[in-house]
């Protein structure tokens, strides 16, 4: 039985103020200054709460459902898919009530109640609360639809206390958020604001960067409207590009969440699946450096290959094809693309593929990849799991060596976790998309695309460096210095230039599909937006010459894949039963059902006009 582990974070902030005794007394008896200090601390708390319940977010939402359904990984840790992959059970995600949104409401209320002079200095603090809230709530409506928002956490400010809030439908939510973001951006650009400094965990008090992040959220809303109201979506994009605040356009603009120097992500394993063969092959064939961040190297280094040769055990054929042997039949190096590329392999995704005997090379690794030497037995992975080190950092890593060989381990001195919640790469890839769709914005779609891909690669490489990926600087198992150096997974000189010269990155043909593919790959390194991109784009496309969708064949029939999470049956004992039921009735959802067909056809508002999985872009 899967268990949800929840953690309570205790935070403390120490303010050191250098002043004389009279000044100290004055400052500490001034209610408005105390209120401002308290408000800054509350803003810090809300930033901290933007990424919570990360265990359930990855373990359930992403690795059980979203990544398999988007054809990034399998739904089974270390194995293939079954027909059960489309049936929903437990879910997770962010907790917005009772504390997160209540805290935001309280911040706004306190600022509104300040004397005019103090209020004028706190406009940016109030402005921050809108992108903080909207980013978080958007991740919820993306999977579930209607939410309590406009009347949420209003009990302290209403008479009688509002404890039965209505549910805002998705159309209203997106409209409300656009209005709030448009109002927040001028607040974030106001002059003479109090300094958040280090209490701003993201931008250290640079409010202009918060304004750029608000513009990214506007782009996300435009992306969700692209098949619903294309003209309006384009209008929003044009507003962003022409905004006085600007938009996220360099690595320093990225919204990198860090909870603290001692936060490493959940301490519990999240059990990611194996990489999808078509995706991993696409990335390796094009030598995309991000494959080395999103997926793990397999265990078949030169020492392990030699151990298989010595044991007379057949190598997996996809590994063996690149092995170079000397005159004595021993391992001497790699052919083809060489290290590190020869260490990344995905598996077929169809449930039927698991049952095919020719696929034992993928799905019977526990038997086929087991060897013994001197009474020591080891089993080796020949395929590539999704990299769990992207999602948490406090766990050790043991390098694969031959049975009875050296014990090489990476442990202790664990780095703090960094999480991408928004980026300049994402921004530029949206601009490439909308330029192709006819937006009247300066620049060329190919230029936006190239910059988006470049920034995506650079950001993921930075994450790999900061998270201390085991092979980042070299592969220490090799005794040969050249092979050890070649096995490094860090970004190498000219890799980005070579990648962008490949046909799969030329927008003159199938341009929109290629942009969506890069959006998907970029989002795969973040906790959110992967599924939204897959649903609105129809990518990967069936029969594509770039990255092709693999049918989820089970018994020869392509499984129907959900397009939203299941909705719980409202309890009549709930005080808010009437509003809960009304929301589901308005959406046309069948509560309590995990029938994949219903979850595919009873769509969210933003998803109604989107293409079916594998159909490719509408436009």
CA angle 505, 420, 61 (to 5 degrees): 95
CA–CA separation, 163 and 109 (whole Å): 18
Q: Do 390 and 323 share a structural domain?
A: yes
User: Contact, 245 vs 313, CB < 8 A?
Assistant: no
Please count the other Cβ atoms lying within 10 Å of the Cβ belonging to residue 528: 25
Q: Do 34 and 120 share a structural domain?
A: yes
Q: How many helices (H) and strands (E) does the chain have?
A: 25, 10
Q: Which of 238, 235, 207 is nearest to 131 (CA)?
A: 207
pTM above 0.85, yes or no: yes
User: Between 207-225 and 170-188, two packed helices, what is the crossing angle to 10 degrees?
Assistant: 160
Q: Do 364 and 433 share a structural domain?
A: yes
Q: Do 340 and 238 share a structural domain?
A: no
What integer is the mean pLDDT of 173-189?
A: 99
> What's the pLDDT at 36?
60
What integer is the mean pLDDT of 159-169?
A: 98
What integer is the mean pLDDT of 417-432?
A: 99
Q: Do 173 and 319 share a structural domain?
A: no
Q: Do 426 and 510 share a structural domain?
A: yes
Q: In this structure, what CATH number is given to the domain that contains residue 212?
A: 1.25.40.390
Specify if 13 maps to a domain: no
Q: Which of 12-26, 113-127, 256-270, 312-326 has the lowest mean pLDDT?
A: 12-26
Q: Do 299 and 221 share a structural domain?
A: no
Please count the other Cβ atoms lying within 10 Å of the Cβ belonging to residue 316: 20
Last residue of a domain, one of 247, 269, 285: 247
Specify if 237 maps to a domain: yes
User: Contact, 76 vs 348, CB < 8 A?
Assistant: no
CA–CA separation, 539 and 608 (whole Å): 16
Cis peptide before 540 (omega within 30 of 0): yes
CA angle 533, 535, 537 (to 5 degrees): 65
User: Contact, 487 vs 301, CB < 8 A?
Assistant: yes
> What's the pLDDT at 260?
78
Q: Output the six-digit token pair for 401.
A: 């060596």
Confidence class of residue 93 from pLDDT cuts 50, 70 and 90? confident
Q: Which residues have C-beta within 8 Å of that of residue 380, sequence separation ≥ 6? A: 298, 299, 300, 304, 365, 369, 370, 371, 400
> What's the pLDDT at 9?
33
- pLDDT at position 181 over 70: yes
CA–CA separation, 239 and 222 (whole Å): 11
> What's the pLDDT at 102?
97
CA–CA separation, 104 and 96 (whole Å): 10
Helix (H, G, I), strand (E, B) or coil at 395: coil
Specify if 567 maps to a domain: no
- pLDDT at position 14 over 60: no
Q: Which residues have C-beta within 8 Å of that of residue 229, sequence separation ≥ 6? A: none
Q: Output the six-digit token pair for 532.
A: 């939204």
Please count the other Cβ atoms lying within 10 Å of the Cβ belonging to residue 237: 26
Q: Do 296 and 199 share a structural domain?
A: no
CA–CA separation, 452 and 249 (whole Å): 9
Last residue of a domain, one of 194, 226, 247: 247
First to last CA, the chain: 44
Specify if 264 maps to a domain: no
Phi, psi for residue 372 in degrees, rounded to 5: -130, 150
Q: Which of 17-26, 366-375, 470-479 has the lowest mean pLDDT?
A: 17-26
Specify if 91 maps to a domain: no
Q: Which of 25-34, 39-48, 290-299, 517-526 has the lowest mean pLDDT?
A: 25-34
Query: What is the count of structural domains for the chain?
Result: 2
pLDDT digits (tens, 9 = 90+) for 184-233: 999 999 999 999 999 999 999 999 999 999 999 999 999 999 999 999 99
What integer is the mean pLDDT of 308-320?
A: 99
Q: Do 326 and 232 share a structural domain?
A: no
User: Contact, 211 vs 185, CB < 8 A?
Assistant: yes
Q: Which of 492, 470, 488, 477 is nearest to 331 (CA)?
A: 477
> What's the pLDDT at 37?
61
Q: Do 283 and 224 share a structural domain?
A: no
Q: Which residues have C-beta within 8 Å of that of residue 573, sequence separation ≥ 6? A: none
- pLDDT at position 362 over 70: yes
Please count the other Cβ atoms lying within 10 Å of the Cβ belonging to residue 152: 23
What integer is the mean pLDDT of 380-399?
A: 98
Specify if 546 maps to a domain: yes
Domain extent, residue 475, equals 277-558
What integer is the mean pLDDT of 237-259?
A: 98
CA–CA separation, 565 and 93 (whole Å): 12
- CB burial string 247-259: b at 16+ within 10 A, e below: bbeeeebbbbbbb
pLDDT digits (tens, 9 = 90+) for 434-469: 999 999 999 999 999 999 999 999 999 999 999 999
What integer is the mean pLDDT of 590-604?
A: 98
Last residue of a domain, one of 525, 558, 591: 558
Q: Which of 242, 262, 152, 205 is nearest to 43 (CA)?
A: 205
Q: Which residues have C-beta within 8 Å of that of residue 463, sequence separation ≥ 6? A: 293, 390, 418, 420, 525
Q: Do 520 and 382 share a structural domain?
A: yes
Pairing of strands 397-398, 409-410: antiparallel
pLDDT digits (tens, 9 = 90+) for 473-492: 999 999 999 999 999 999 99
Cis peptide before 340 (omega within 30 of 0): yes
Q: In the predicted model, what is the mean pLDDT of the chain?
A: 94
Q: Do 286 and 228 share a structural domain?
A: no
Q: Considering all CA atoms of the chain, what is the largest pairwise distance in Å, rounded to the nearest integer?
A: 88
pLDDT digits (tens, 9 = 90+) for 572-583: 999 999 999 999
Specify if 257 maps to a domain: no
Specify the DSSP class assigned to residue 62.
I
Confidence class of residue 28 from pLDDT cuts 50, 70 and 90? very low
Specify if 328 maps to a domain: yes
> What's the pLDDT at 95?
85
Helix (H, G, I), strand (E, B) or coil at 385: strand
User: Contact, 213 vs 189, CB < 8 A?
Assistant: no
| Cα 73 from chain centre | 14
> What's the pLDDT at 437?
99
pLDDT digits (tens, 9 = 90+) for 281-293: 999 999 999 999 9
């Amino acid at each position: 039985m899967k268990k949800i582990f929840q953690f309570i974070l205790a935070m403390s902030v120490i303010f050191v103020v250098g002043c004389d005794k009279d000044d100290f007394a004055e400052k500490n008896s001034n209610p408005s200054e105390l209120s401002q200090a308290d408000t800054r601390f509350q803003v810090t708390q809300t930033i901290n709460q933007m990424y919570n319940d990360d265990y359930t977010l990855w373990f359930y939402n992403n690795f059980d459902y979203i990544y398999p359904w988007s054809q990034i990984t399998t739904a089974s840790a270390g194995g293939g898919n079954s027909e059960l992959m489309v049936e929903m059970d437990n879910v997770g995600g962010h907790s917005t009530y009772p504390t997160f949104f209540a805290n935001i409401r309280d911040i706004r209320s306190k600022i509104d109640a300040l004397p005019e002079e103090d209020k004028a200095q706190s406009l940016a603090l109030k402005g921050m609360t809108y992108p903080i809230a909207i980013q978080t709530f958007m991740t919820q409506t993306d999977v579930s639809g209607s939410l309590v928002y406009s009347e949420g956490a209003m009990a302290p400010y209403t008479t009688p206390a509002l404890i039965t809030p209505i549910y805002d439908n998705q159309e209203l939510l997106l409209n409300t958020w656009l209005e709030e973001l448009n109002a927040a951006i001028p607040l974030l650009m106001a002059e003479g604001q109090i300094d958040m400094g280090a209490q701003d965990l993201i931008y250290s008090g640079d409010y202009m960067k918060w304004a750029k992040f608000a513009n990214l959220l506007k782009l996300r809303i435009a992306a969700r409207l692209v098949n619903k109201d294309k003209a309006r979506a384009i209008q929003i994009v044009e507003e962003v590009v022409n905004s006085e605040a600007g938009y996220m356009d360099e690595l320093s603009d990225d919204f990198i969440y860090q909870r603290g120097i001692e936060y490493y992500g959940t301490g519990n394993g999240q059990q990611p699946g194996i990489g999808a063969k078509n995706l991993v092959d696409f990335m390796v064939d094009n030598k995309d450096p991000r494959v080395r961040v999103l997926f793990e190297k397999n265990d078949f280094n030169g020492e392990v290959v030699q151990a298989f040769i010595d044991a007379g055990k057949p190598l997996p054929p996809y590994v063996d094809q690149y092995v170079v042997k000397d005159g004595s039949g021993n391992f001497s190096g790699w052919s083809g693309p060489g290290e590190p590329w020869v260490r990344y392999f995905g598996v077929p995704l169809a449930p039927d593929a698991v049952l095919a005997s020719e696929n034992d090379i993928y799905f019977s690794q526990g038997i086929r990849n087991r060897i013994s030497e001197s009474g020591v037995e080891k089993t080796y992975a020949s395929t590539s799991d999704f990299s769990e080190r992207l999602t948490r950092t406090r766990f050790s890593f043991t390098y694969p060596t031959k049975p009875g060989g050296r014990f090489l381990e990476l442990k202790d001195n664990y780095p703090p976790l960094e999480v991408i919640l928004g980026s300049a790469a994402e921004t530029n890839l949206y601009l490439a998309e909308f330029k192709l769709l006819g937006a009247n914005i300066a620049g060329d779609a190919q230029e936006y695309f190239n910059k988006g891909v470049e920034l995506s690669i650079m950001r993921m490489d930075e994450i790999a460096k900061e998270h201390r990926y085991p092979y980042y600087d070299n592969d220490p198992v090799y005794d040969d210095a050249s092979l050890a150096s070649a096995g490094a997974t860090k970004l190498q000189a000219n890799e980005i230039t070579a990648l962008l010269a490949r046909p799969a990155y030329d927008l003159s043909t199938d341009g929109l599909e290629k942009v969506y593919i890069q959006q998907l790959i970029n989002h795969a390194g973040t906790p959110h937006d992967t599924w939204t991109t897959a649903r609105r784009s129809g990518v990967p496309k069936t029969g594509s010459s770039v990255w092709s969708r693999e049918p989820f064949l089970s018994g020869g029939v392509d499984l129907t894949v959900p397009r939203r999470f299941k909705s719980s049956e409202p309890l009549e004992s709930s005080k808010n039963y009437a509003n809960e039921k009304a929301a589901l009735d308005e959406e046309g959802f069948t509560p309590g059902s995990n029938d994949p067909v219903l979850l595919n056809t009873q769509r969210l508002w933003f998803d109604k006009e989107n293409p079916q999985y594998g159909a490719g872009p509408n436009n």
